[in-house]
């Protein structure tokens, strides 16, 4: 008689994916394949109370339709995906900083679609991830606008936002001077 498998209870609570994929716990979100090479997934954050789990829906479209979508650029923070959200009723694990971003997006109540790389790209599918990374320039270019998320506010946040316009003005001044110098054939280092 073969020895009893001590991990039998774990196998019973998993389901098999396609050949070669590892077993996934039940109720874990499984991405649908993108239809074309220019397809993207857009995230809709569903309304909810602050103490409720984050719920999202993924919408599939092409890069050409990104004008209805906000592309989000954010600091990933730690790489551990420890926070649970629900995508179309199934569990999806995200990083702490992304979870904070999704809470903020839900709180804002904006009814828009977002392109967020860690969700919009199937991070477990290496081929898809590599291809979508190549499309990111066009994704950001075609989005209605790009939102930058650095994380939750802290004691330096207010001061930082006061400094940004000053830096932007200085940058404009430097780039205008560089254009003038190049226009006159001069050489300069800034």
DSSP per residue, 161-175? HHHHHHHHHHHHHHH
Shared domain for 31 and 70, answered yes or no, is yes
Nearest in space to 32 (alpha carbons), one of 165, 110, 112, 121 = 121
At residue 125, the 3 state secondary structure works out as: coil
Shared domain for 133 and 173, answered yes or no, is no
What percent of the chain is predicted at pLDDT more than 90?
A: 52
Query: Which helix or strand (DSSP H or E) is residue 148 part of?
Result: strand 145-149
The confidence score (pLDDT) of residue 161 equals: 77
Q: What is the mean pLDDT of the chain?
A: 80
Range of the domain at 184: 155-190
- Rounded to an integer, the average pLDDT of 107-125 is 91
Sign of CA dihedral 178, 181, 182, 186: negative
Whether 100 contacts 151, CB under 8 Å: yes
- Rounded to an integer, the average pLDDT of 19-33 is 70
The confidence score (pLDDT) of residue 179 equals: 52
Shared domain for 76 and 49, answered yes or no, is yes
Q: Pairing between strand 113-116 and 69-74?
A: parallel
The confidence score (pLDDT) of residue 11 equals: 32
- Read off the pLDDT of residues 27-44 as tens digits, 9 standing for 90 and up: 899 999 999 999 999 999
How far is it, in rounded angstroms, from Cα 111 to Cα 61? 17
Strand order across the 145-149 sheet: 90-94, 83-87, 55-62, 39-45, 113-116, 69-74, 145-149
Greater confidence (33 vs 24) lies with 33
Is residue 36 one of the residues assigned to a domain? yes
Shared domain for 102 and 175, answered yes or no, is no
- 21: pLDDT strictly greater than 50: no
Is residue 3 one of the residues assigned to a domain? no
- Read off the pLDDT of residues 39-97 as tens digits, 9 standing for 90 and up: 999 999 999 999 999 999 999 999 998 888 999 988 777 788 889 999 999 999 999 99
Shared domain for 92 and 17, answered yes or no, is yes
The pLDDT-based confidence of 143 (bands split at 50, 70, 90) is: very high
The predicted model scores a pTM of: 0.71
- Rounded to an integer, the average pLDDT of 134-149 is 92
Shared domain for 115 and 57, answered yes or no, is yes
Whether 152 contacts 100, CB under 8 Å: yes
Shared domain for 127 and 88, answered yes or no, is yes
- Read off the pLDDT of residues 166-182 as tens digits, 9 standing for 90 and up: 888 888 777 665 554 44
Sign of CA dihedral 70, 74, 79, 83: negative
């Amino acid at each position: 008689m073969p020895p009893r498998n001590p991990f039998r209870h774990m196998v019973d609570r998993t389901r098999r994916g396609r050949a070669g994929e590892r077993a996934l716990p039940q109720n874990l979100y499984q991405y649908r394949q993108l239809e074309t090479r220019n397809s993207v997934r857009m995230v809709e954050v569903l309304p909810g109370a602050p103490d409720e789990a984050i719920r999202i829906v993924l919408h599939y479209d092409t890069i050409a339709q990104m004008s209805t979508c906000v592309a989000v650029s954010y600091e990933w923070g730690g790489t551990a995906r420890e926070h649970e959200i629900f995508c179309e009723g199934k569990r999806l694990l995200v990083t702490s900083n992304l979870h904070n971003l999704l809470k903020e997006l839900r709180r804002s109540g904006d009814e828009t679609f977002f392109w967020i790389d860690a969700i919009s790209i199937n991070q477990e599918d290496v081929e898809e991830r590599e291809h979508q990374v190549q499309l990111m320039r066009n994704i950001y270019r075609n989005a209605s606008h790009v939102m930058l998320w650095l994380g939750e506010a802290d004691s330096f946040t207010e001061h930082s936002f006061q400094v940004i316009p000053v830096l932007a003005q200085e940058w404009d001044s430097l780039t205008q001077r560089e254009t003038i110098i190049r226009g006159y054939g001069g050489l300069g280092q800034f």
